Structure 1
Amino acid sequence: MDTAETGRHPLDSASVLNAKKTLFELLGRVGVFRGEAEELVALVEAGAVADAHSEAGKAAGAPAGHAELYVTGWHDGARAVGEEFARVAERALERAIGPAVSGPMGGARVHHPVGRVDVERAKVAVTPLHLAFSTTSDLDPEVSDEVLTAVLGTMSVVGRVGYAGQLERFTEAHRQRLDRLYARYGPGSPIAVHGRYSLLHSPTSIAVLERLTGSPAALRAEWEHAELPPAWLEGLSIAWQASETPQD
């Protein structure tokens, strides 16, 4: 459809609201609570606005053949639109997670309890990253939830929202070292799944490693609070250090 001819976009506010309500209905039928669904949709909306802001920043400059005053006005207008996009994106994010009250990786357990949606989003993030280095997990799913809850407890709510990107940057920066780590200690290696290296058989190991390098003290505090086996964390730390350099 040519929106220039009709003068309006087919996705008006009523149509968007209808789509959201339909999504909430479908998610509710498979056991997703309304509040959790609303949080996820709000995050997608905030991300869409952030993407629009990014795309607007890539827009071509003023059309050629115009006077300097026109070009200046063009750039001023583009800057104003970009700034407004940024404000709209910020408001959309606040609707999803509430006002940000601490830094991206600040302590969050007291003020921002880790919720089911936080854990599920982390699972979706870590699983494909882990499979790039290893095979499917043999670790109890309930244990995986407990591990990810401890990991996410080291962050503010803002840090959790952007954690998927943080994990991708971590794996990209340490790809060769992670290859060595999982080859020596992960599934398919001579190391058994039961023992100090158990976490390397789970996708959660990617998240734990990222926190071990980025916020070790906070991770150890959350680990102790969750009463997770200290040997798992120490074993992963030892294996990570041993994988820093190739074997002779």
Structure 2
Amino acid sequence: MDAGDDGRQQLDTVSILNARHTLLGYLGRAGLFPGDAEELVRLVEAGAVALAHEEIGALAREAPEGGGDLYTSGWLDGAGAVAGGLGDTAARALRLAVAADASPSAGDARPPVRTTEVERARVAIGPLYLSFTEVSDLDPEVSEQVLVAVLATMGARQRAGYAGRLTEFTEEHRPRLERLYARYGPGSPTAIHGRYSLLHSPTSIAVLERLTAAPACLESEWDAGELPPAWLEGLRRGWAEAGV
């Protein structure tokens, strides 16, 4: 660990790589394939740079008071340059994390869905689902098949940020989702109606998000996965009624 000029403690490169290799070793011994473990670590690294970019970006919007016009101009220019550089670094780190080509369009391609992508989506939807309803004994337990269909509608970079997209979706539509689960979810009078079976699964959050964002693509992947058409129609109908 090195001390900067102002006395702050910072990790040196060797120690950072040591921690990285240690984590990869732990993940490997836990049964994760090397490529999947590397992808997860790279996503965390890309996220750390993205968060640093946000923090520096805030500094670039407003200079400390009392420094005069020249000081303010220099501060904003300098912070803006650093923020721009960090933004470029964050974008490169994300491309590396999702193993996308450096071209702008490559991240929009839709490669086969990977196991770690399904697991990340599963981790994301659980808490969101429980913020509207409860665990149901009627869960059809088809999370993997449903999430593969959902994720197949997106490119690699979209999948990498899907947890954030799901959070935005639930916050934007919270009252409507509350009405939907109250009417057709666990504990509702229509709890055992087959059309609404998927509302007993956390995956319904992800399916609803895709129904609003990419309905045609979702229908195509749904058919390709040979999932029950009635489930999709039930969510579509329930979503429309909850919007009234």
TM-score normalised by length of structure 2: 0.89
| Aligned position for 2:125 | 126
- Mean CA deviation greater in 177-186 or 5-14: 5-14
CA apart distance, 1:9: 4.2
Counting only pairs closer than 5 Å after superposition, residues 109-124 of structure 1 correspond to structure 2 as 112-124=111-123
CA apart distance, 1:95: 1.2
Aligned-pair identity in percent equals 56
| Aligned position for 2:219 | 220
Distance 1:132 1:121, change over 3 A: same
- Mean CA deviation greater in 33-42 or 3-12: 3-12
Amino acid at match of 1:61: A
CA apart distance, 1:207: 0.5
| Aligned position for 1:82 | 83
Query: What is the rounded CA distance, in whole Å, between the counterparts of 2:224 and 2:91 in structure 1?
Result: 33
Aligned residues: 239
Distance 1:221 1:91, change over 3 A: same
CA apart distance, 1:56: 0.7
| Aligned position for 2:182 | 183
Amino acid at match of 2:26: L
Distance 1:34 1:73, change over 3 A: same
5+ long unaligned stretches in structure 2 = none
| Aligned position for 2:63 | 61
CA apart distance, 1:87: 1.1
Amino acid at match of 1:85: L
CA apart distance, 1:192: 3.7
Amino acid at match of 1:18: N
The answer to whether 1:18 aligns with 2:39 is no
> 2:39, 2:97 within 8 Å by CA — same for their partners in 1?
yes
| Aligned position for 2:232 | 233
Distance 1:171 1:212, change over 3 A: same
| Aligned position for 2:166 | 167
> 1:146, 1:226 within 8 Å by CA — same for their partners in 2?
yes
Considering only aligned residues, what root-mean-square deviation do their CA atoms show, in Å?
Answer: 2.3
SS in 2 for 1:145: helix
Distance 1:193 1:115, change over 3 A: farther
